[in-house]
């Protein structure tokens, strides 16, 4: 660990944990954007590109959706060393999200609990911001010394849209896909957050299959010159039979040129195995848990999916990736790419560099990952 990393760890333990988590996030993100030229020099790591879904990723590590909901700092995040940045979740309509407080740290577990509720400025506003980014910010990535980062756009259901109205759900996702697909390197349909009522009901295959087909058609119309890869993000709390059904749907979707991959997994509604006292956790209330407590389940879900979908499907492993060993284990379990969020929160700006270096080690020893 460098002096830079030790300084962040001290500041996180003694300063950041005394500030409301959401406010600390805003301040930290502002610092990342302001410090992009410096962090780009700190994050340079020689890596071998990874090819997936017809895209070239500078490395296997990406930033999961949730950190940059409104596409405000893509270039700055890329400067830290992420090979891809996934923005969102973006909804068809702007929405404030759930009442505050809604974001909490569990330092003893290196975990985060959130019930943000897809707070974002809406697809139209984010599309405008991405248009500006496309024209200007990708050039600035080169000026601050980073390779072009792959941009993922994660879309979800607006809270006011009833989940039991399939036509309304599809129309809502259509709004986001039509506005955002032209700027996305890949598009993600999020049906797995626990913080939008009824959203996880859309993971049922009979609901998910027509939704994905509709988003695929909309994305193709919105981006006729370039096919935008489509993925679906699923929850870790699915039963094994439901996981198998999603895997089979994905295989059929890949064959029919509808779906290109699965992101496994989102946050969990489970609370088992935590070091933080149960009464303290209960007092925080509802929400999705991310971070180290999710490691074992997310890895198991990924491994089951890989055994079911075969070697060709792109799988993105996310959930509880805290250390380089965690990232390597996820690749060994079948991940084509990996993402982090809570590990980044606890690890600081130097965390992407450490994970990327660790991910390079298996290939240096001649070990093959999924691509």
Give the H or E element holding residue 131: helix 123-132
DSSP state of 136: I
Binding-site positions for substrate: 69, 114-118, 190, 195, 266-267
Give the DSSP letter string of 49-70. Answer: -EEETTEEESSSEEEPTTSSTT
The pair of structure tokens assigned to 297 is 């389940």
> Which residue in the block uniquely carries the two structure tokens 């027509």?
210
Gap between the Cα atoms of 43 and 323, Å rounded: 17
Binding-site positions for FMN: 65-69, 89, 154, 190, 233, 265, 291, 320, 341-342
Residue pair 231/187 in contact (Cβ under 8 Å)? The answer is yes
Give the DSSP letter string of 201-214. Answer: GGGSHHHHHHHHHH
CA angle 78-84-85, nearest 5°? Answer: 70
Binding-site positions: 65-69, 89, 114-118, 154, 190, 195, 233, 265-267, 291, 320, 341-342
**Strands 50-52, 55-57: parallel, antiparallel or unpaired by DSSP?**
antiparallel
Residues designated catalytic: 193
Count CB-CB contacts under 10 A for residue 312: 10
């Amino acid at each position: 660990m460098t002096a830079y990393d030790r300084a962040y760890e001290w500041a996180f333990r003694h300063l950041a944990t005394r500030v409301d988590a959401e406010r600390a996030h805003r301040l930290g993100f502002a610092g990342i954007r302001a410090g992009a030229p410096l962090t780009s020099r700190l994050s340079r790591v020689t890596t071998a590109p990874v090819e997936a879904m017809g895209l070239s990723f500078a490395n296997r590590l990406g930033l999961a959706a949730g950190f940059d909901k409104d596409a405000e700092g893509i270039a700055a995040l890329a400067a830290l060393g992420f090979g891809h940045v996934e923005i969102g979740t973006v909804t068809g309509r702007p929405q404030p999200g759930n009442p505050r407080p809604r974001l909490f740290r569990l330092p003893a577990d290196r975990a985060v609990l959130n019930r943000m509720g897809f707070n974002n400025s809406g697809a139209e506003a984010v599309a405008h911001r991405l248009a500006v980014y496309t024209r200007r910010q990708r050039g600035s990535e080169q000026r601050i010394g980073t390779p072009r980062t792959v941009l993922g756009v994660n879309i979800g259901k607006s809270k006011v849209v009833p989940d039991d109205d399939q036509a309304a759900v599809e129309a809502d996702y259509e709004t986001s896909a039509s506005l955002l697909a032209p700027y996305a390197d890949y598009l993600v349909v999020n049906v797995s957050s626990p913080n939008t009522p009824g959203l996880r009901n859309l993971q049922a295959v009979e609901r998910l299959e027509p939704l994905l087909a509709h988003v695929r058609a909309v994305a193709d119309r919105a981006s006729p010159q370039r096919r935008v890869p489509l993925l679906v993000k699923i929850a870790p709390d699915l039963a094994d039979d439901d996981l198998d059904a999603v895997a089979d749907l994905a295989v059929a979707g890949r064959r029919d040129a509808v779906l290109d991959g699965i992101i496994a997994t989102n946050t969990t509604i489970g609370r088992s195995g935590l070091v933080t006292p149960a009464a303290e956790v209960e007092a925080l209330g509802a929400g999705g848990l991310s971070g180290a407590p999710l490691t074992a389940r997310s890895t198991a879900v990924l491994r089951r999916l890989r055994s079911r979908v075969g070697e060709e499907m792109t799988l993105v492993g996310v959930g509880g990736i805290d250390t380089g060993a965690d990232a390597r284990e996820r690749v060994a379990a079948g991940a084509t790419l990996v993402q982090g969020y809570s590990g980044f929160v606890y690890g600081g700006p130097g965390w992407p560099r450490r994970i990327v270096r660790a991910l390079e080690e298996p290939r240096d020893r001649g070990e093959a990952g999924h691509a």
